[in-house]
């Protein structure tokens, strides 16, 4: 039996080791970063909010004019088959639509391409190591690059356009920071590579409503804030206001709620994880075990 414990892929109806998965070198998904995707976590043997993630993926397909000949049920079935075959109890699961290859030599018409779906899963990914997240991570505000404008690339369509994030990450790493956060051209906070960001002012939590992916984890955080008795605001968040917050934290499908202890030279919560962020982090790992949010994987015995 093939060992899929390091990851699996679903491609054209076949489940294979992730190390064997590939797309053609002329696929526009590769040559043009012409891909829409989404990522859903599996935790302790069950998908978390699977229908919400697949709904958002389908909305991205519609916005990006991808046609993969698979409906909601078929996508869910492919993901279930793949994770079940892998045996992974905690997994990071991606669903992807690529523009595909253009069979007409020299054509620049995207309508000529044959779009296709594939998926892959690996052991659960933390975008910030859990021990660093528990203590509060560090974030660098990118200075050399701004977030791609929303009227150029729609941030609500989860995509592979990471040129701006990659530039910011080089800056952050060279300055000794864990990750980066980008501003828009008006100086408002947007998002970082794989996460949304929140600022807490007393019992009020603010997150950007534009220039960002409207993440499912972001939605979960807003819902958890209500449960915790916190007020929420979704609106433009200028950097100057952001840096005056009592606490700052991130949200991601790869790790849930991630407290931030430092942004540039601004230290939050005495250099540790803040109380609100820590509570929401604990609450998140409770939420992903609640039955109403989970769909169990039927593992292959």
**pLDDT mean over 190-196:** 97
Distance separating alpha carbons of residues 8 and 6, to the nearest angstrom:
7
Give per-residue pLDDT as tens, 245-286.
999 999 999 999 999 999 999 999 999 999 999 999 999 999
Query: What is the reported pLDDT for 300?
Result: 77
Q: Which of 94, 123, 152 is the last residue of a domain?
A: 123
Do the strands 46-48 and 256-263 form a parallel or antiparallel pair, or are they unpaired?
unpaired
Residues 6+ apart with CB under 8 A from 1: none
Give per-residue pLDDT as tens, 62-83.
999 999 999 999 999 999 999 9
Q: Which of 123, 140, 170 is the last residue of a domain?
A: 123
Give per-residue pLDDT as tens, 124-177.
999 999 999 999 999 999 999 999 999 999 999 999 999 999 999 999 999 999
Same domain, 240 and 259: yes
Give a yes or no: residue 169 inside a domain. Answer: yes
Predicted TM-score of the model (pTM): 0.95
Question: Residue 220: which pLDDT band, with cuts at 50, 70 and 90?
Answer: very high
Give a yes or no: residue 299 inside a domain. Answer: no
Question: Residue 1: which pLDDT band, with cuts at 50, 70 and 90?
Answer: low
Inter-residue contact 157 to 36 (CB < 8 Å) = yes
Give a yes or no: residue 272 inside a domain. Answer: yes
Distance separating alpha carbons of residues 253 and 215, to the nearest angstrom:
8
CATH number of the domain to which 136 belongs = 3.20.10.10
Domain count, the chain: 2
Same domain, 105 and 61: yes
Nearest to 146 by CA among 130, 163, 159, 131: 163
Query: What is the reported pLDDT for 2?
Result: 87
Per the prediction, the chain carries an average pLDDT of 97
**Does residue 22 carry a pLDDT above 70?**
yes
Question: Residue 60: which pLDDT band, with cuts at 50, 70 and 90?
Answer: very high
**Does residue 301 carry a pLDDT above 90?**
no
Give the DSSP H/E element, type plus range, for residue 286. Answer: helix 275-287
Residue 202 structural domain: 130-287
> What CA–CA distances, in Å, run from 102 to 25, 66, 221?
11, 14, 41
Give per-residue pLDDT as tens, 104-123.
988 999 999 999 999 999 99
């Amino acid at each position: 039996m093939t060992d899929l414990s390091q990851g699996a892929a679903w491609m054209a109806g076949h489940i294979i080791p992730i190390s064997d998965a590939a797309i053609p070198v002329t696929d526009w998904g590769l040559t043009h970063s012409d891909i829409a995707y989404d990522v859903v976590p599996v935790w302790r043997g069950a998908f978390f909010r699977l229908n919400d993630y697949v709904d958002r993926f389908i909305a991205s397909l519609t916005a990006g004019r991808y046609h993969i000949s698979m409906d909601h049920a078929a996508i869910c079935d492919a993901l279930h088959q793949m994770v079940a075959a892998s045996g992974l109890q905690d997994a990071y699961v991606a669903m992807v639509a690529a523009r595909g290859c253009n069979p007409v030599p020299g054509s620049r018409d995207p309508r000529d391409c044959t779009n296709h779906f594939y998926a892959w899963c690996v052991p659960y990914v933390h975008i910030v190591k859990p021990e660093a997240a528990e203590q509060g991570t560090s974030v660098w505000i990118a200075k050399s690059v701004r977030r791609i404008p929303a009227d150029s690339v729609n941030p609500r369509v989860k995509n592979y356009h990471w040129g701006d994030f990659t530039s910011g990450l080089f800056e952050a790493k060279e300055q000794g920071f864990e990750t980066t956060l980008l501003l828009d051209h008006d100086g408002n906070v947007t998002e970082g590579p794989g996460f949304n960001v929140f600022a807490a002012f007393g019992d009020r939590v603010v997150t950007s409503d534009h220039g960002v992916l409207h993440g499912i984890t972001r939605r979960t955080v807003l819902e958890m804030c209500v449960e915790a008795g916190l007020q929420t605001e979704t609106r433009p968040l200028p950097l100057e206001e952001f840096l005056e917050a009592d606490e700052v934290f991130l949200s991601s499908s790869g790790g849930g709620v991630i407290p931030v202890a430092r942004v540039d030279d601004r230290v939050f919560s005495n250099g540790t994880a803040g109380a609100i962020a820590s509570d929401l982090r604990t609450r998140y790992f409770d939420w992903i075990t609640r039955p109403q949010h989970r769909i169990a994987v039927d593992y292959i015995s």
